[in-house]
Structure 1
């Protein structure tokens, strides 16, 4: 079963109960949520950030886009037998801050396999 955010209605009821003086633990027990969740709902309400749930899901390609992607392609065209770690180190030396995992995921999305970018890529 996948996690999903609590409904806005439930969040509002928890915040209202907390504002009326109910303890966090009592509100959590009453509405069937954890005490930590009830605390976070109360904190969001008091800080004025609203009760709407935050966006869920993974980030999309955090760094290897645009100029960074062009640099990876340029380096692979010049020397096709890079290891992932060596390629990431070379990019870092050039001022592009990436981890070897980020480079690996980028290359996998590009359809490159370990045969294309050399032995030792998983070291």
Structure 2
């Protein structure tokens, strides 16, 4: 390792509250598939992972609600049992459910962007 790489490793270990040996042991436990040429590994803490997971579940719930709202529209349209006002009413209801997804989608997008843009000051390449 170069002197610069050793200094970066020591700084990272210090920031993480680890010894250099503990840092190296932790890195050695990573799956080989996660270490690629030119790739960046992003480590997410448990709190952030739980937030993302919870938001993804919420997003999935809203998505399922929207799809379920569209199913009767498609069914009744195929059977010619629905008039224009009924279709518009169902579409408005579905639109509202999709709009309810937007805050969650935006929060998830922002969190994912923040994670991908984070770097430890002074440690990045």
TM-score tier, shorter chain, comes to under 0.3
Task: Give the TM-score normalised by the residue count of structure 1.
Answer: 0.23
Task: Give the TM-score normalised by the residue count of structure 2.
Answer: 0.23
Question: Which structure's residues are more often helix, by fraction?
Answer: 2
